[in-house]
Amino acid sequence: MDKLKTRFAPSPTGLLHIGQARTAIFSYCLARQSGGEFVLRIEDTDRERHIEEAIPRIIEDLRWLGLDWNEGVDIGPDGLPIGRGPNGPYRQSERLAIYAEHIRRLVDAGLAYYCFETEAEEKVLRAAAEAAKVPFRYPRPATFPTHADADAARAAGRPVVVRFACPAQDVTIHDDAFGDVTMPAAEMDDFVLLKADGFPTYHPANVIDDALMGVNYIVRGQEFLGQTWRHVLLRRAWGFAEPKGYCHLPLILNPDNSKMSKRDKHRLTRAAAKDALAKGGLTRAGLASRAGAEEATTTAWLDGADAAIPLAKLEHLAASLNVHLPEIDVADFRRSGYLPEAVINFVALLGWNPGQDREKFTLAELTEMFSSERVSKTNARFDRAKLLAFNTDDLAAADEPRRLAALKDFLRLNPASTIPAGNDDLLRTLLRATPTLRTLADLPAKCNVLFEADDAYDFDAAAVEKNLRKGNNAGFDVLTQLETLLASLPQEAWQIQPLHDAVETFAATNALGMGKVAQPLRVAVTGTTVSPPIADTLAILGKEKTLARIRRCLALR
Ligand code: GLU
């Protein structure tokens, strides 16, 4: 097998989302299985959408997934991004001179040309195309301006951009997923290579870097497939070799067939807000205050302007409306308690078919199994129930050190939990008491109450009715007897097995099913019917807290 050198080239306009993670994983697998190399390059030429803080976060998320790379951007000892490898720099903003030099070579060769239109002038050109109902195509001049013309234009304060003089030839690329894709020359335009701010556009920067960094196989999302002809023509213009192959990955859709995107978070929250407004449970002013914004801002947001409400505020608003924001970014899945192995396994099956019955595999196994020929061009559907099932299995299969590490990571990212995150012995006990978890979030959902103050939790009215009051206070009677029994147990009996035996013996002696004993007790000490097994629950609480809680509950009688 040829050694493949692949790369992952995110633009830092936000966190690493799940579709990008799939691109990174497949690129990584191809490089590793062929004994080749994997590069992480940061494509930061879009200065308007640039978010510097996203770079270390993207790196962190890639590392969390278990990926590593031979060359590229990494985090230095001071916590800031640094480049490492022989083909750096690996941030495009640090390679401007390289692009300028390459683009100038095309101008010199008559393969690209300067243009000087102001924004207003370009608008007029575009309006003409629009009026004629034809796609805008820049009118290529018969003779190209010289470098001196460009200097003069610059001195006169005009914007100077460089456009590619597209050769009049159809371009066919062979894609490993989509097959042959042809772009007819008649549909091509003289696209911009160099912007007035001195930054290149995506196309030349991407092509130059892939060539100079020795990247020979390109994996990326389907949204770039319609652009690849530009890259082919640019490669020819510079005399760069064709890559060994391309593999564009199909779209990832929500179950309702909409494209899965960061916008989904806004869409769902907006729907809930509109619903609450319509039902009268929420006023416009109330909405604005929950969003921490002016009313005019939230109105714009309700009308569809996602950007009006930043993510942190959206999360707050969503929580207040009881909307669980869908996980979209890798960091979302991590914070919601998914294991990276489950995320990788699930994501790999989005648009790729392993060609065998087996569906579960590790990253190492995927690295061996992956083949770009088995990438499908059919849109993939994001089935959250399946991901949850994978995660449940992976949590059950993980050994205790792995579960402990994942739980600690989860608690660090969810500081609102009352669980003492620094006490490893206690965390191990909690993990043993909750062997079946769909996500790590299930653990605090069941256990947080054990670490709250004894009078801080509410008694669920329905649970009290059903398990304590019903049948002429039968549950309260049981609870009264249990209080006496538990109070009589010596301190050394306050452990899982002796407590389990004591409760079981009590049930047998009184000819009661375990449920008739455990449930009243559970409602008393947690307020609800959901908690770890009763003996574990009591052991974790300890004698004093258990008795205080039982007494507080008995006072409801
Ligand atoms: N920089 C592009 C992005 O973030 C990736 C382009 C490519 O992989 O060719 O989507």
Please tell me which residue in 195, 244, 262, 466 is annotated as part of the active site. 262
- 123 catalytic per annotation: no
Alpha helices in 436-495 (DSSP H): 442-447, 461-464, 470-488
Rg (CA), the chain: 31
Does residue 250 contact residue 177 with C-beta atoms inside 8 Å? yes
| Per-residue pLDDT tens listing for the chain (557 residues) | 789 999 999 999 999 999 999 999 999 999 999 999 999 999 999 989 999 999 999 999 999 999 999 999 999 889 889 999 999 999 999 999 999 999 999 999 999 999 999 999 999 999 999 999 998 999 999 999 999 999 999 999 999 999 999 999 999 999 999 999 999 999 999 999 999 999 999 999 999 999 999 999 999 999 999 999 999 999 999 999 999 999 999 999 998 999 998 899 999 999 999 999 999 999 999 999 999 999 999 999 999 999 999 988 999 999 999 999 999 999 999 999 999 999 999 999 999 999 988 999 999 999 999 999 999 999 999 999 999 999 999 999 999 999 999 999 999 999 999 999 999 999 999 999 999 999 999 999 999 999 999 999 999 999 999 999 999 999 999 999 999 999 999 999 999 999 999 999 999 999 999 999 999 999 999 999 999 999 999 999 999 999 999 999 999 99
Atom number of ligand 1 nearest to Cα 23: 8
Can you tell me the distance from the alpha carbon of 290 to that of 311, in angstroms, rounded to the nearest whole number?
13
Q: Which run of H or of E encompasses 5? A: strand 5-8
Q: Is 298 helix (H, G, I), strand (E, B) or coil?
A: helix
- Identity of the amino acid at 527: G
DSSP per position, 374-413:
GB-SSPEE--HHHHHHHHHHHHHHS-HHHHHHHHHHHHHH
User: Does ligand 1 come within 6 angstroms of the Cβ of 220?
Assistant: yes
Determine the residue of 15, 199, 217, 224 to mutate for testing ligand 1's pocket, defined as the one with the most ligand atoms within 8 A of the Cβ atom.
Answer: 224
pLDDT tens digit string along 159-184?
A: 999 999 999 999 999 999 999 999 99
pTM score = 0.94
Residue 517 and residue 507 in contact, taking contact as beta carbons nearer than 8 Å:
yes
Structure confidence at residue 262 (pLDDT): 85
350 Cα: distance to centroid of ligand 1 (angstroms): 19
Residue with the smallest CA separation from ligand 1 atom 6 is 9
Identify the CA nearest to 504 among candidates 525, 522, 518, 490: 518
Peptide bond preceding 89: is omega within 30 degrees of 0, i.e. cis?
Answer: yes
Alpha-carbon gap, residue 109 to 283, rounded angstroms: 64
Ligand 1 closest atom vs CA 10:
4
233: helix, strand or coil:
helix
Q: Return the pLDDT at 174.
A: 97
- The pLDDT value recorded for residue 556 is 95
Q: Is the CB of 6 under 6 A from ligand 1?
A: no
Handedness of CA 408, 409, 411, 412 (dihedral sign): positive
User: Ligand 1 centroid vs 9 CA: distance in angstroms?
Assistant: 5
State residue 356's pLDDT score.
87
Is the C-beta atom of 11 inside 6 A of ligand 1? yes
Is any atom of ligand 1 closer than 6 Å to the C-beta of 206? yes
The token pair at 464 is: 């009290």
The ligand 1 atom nearest the CA atom of 13: 4
What separation in Å is there between the alpha carbon of 69 and the centre of ligand 1?
17
C-alpha of residue 478 to centroid of ligand 1, in Å: 65
11 Cα nearest atom in ligand 1: 4
- Regarding the beta carbon of 8 and ligand 1, being less than 6 Å apart is answered no
Measured distance CA(412)–CA(427) in Å, rounded? 13
> pLDDT at position 112, please?
98
Measured in Å, residue 213 CA sits from the centre of ligand 1 at 15
In the prediction, which pLDDT does 82 show? 93
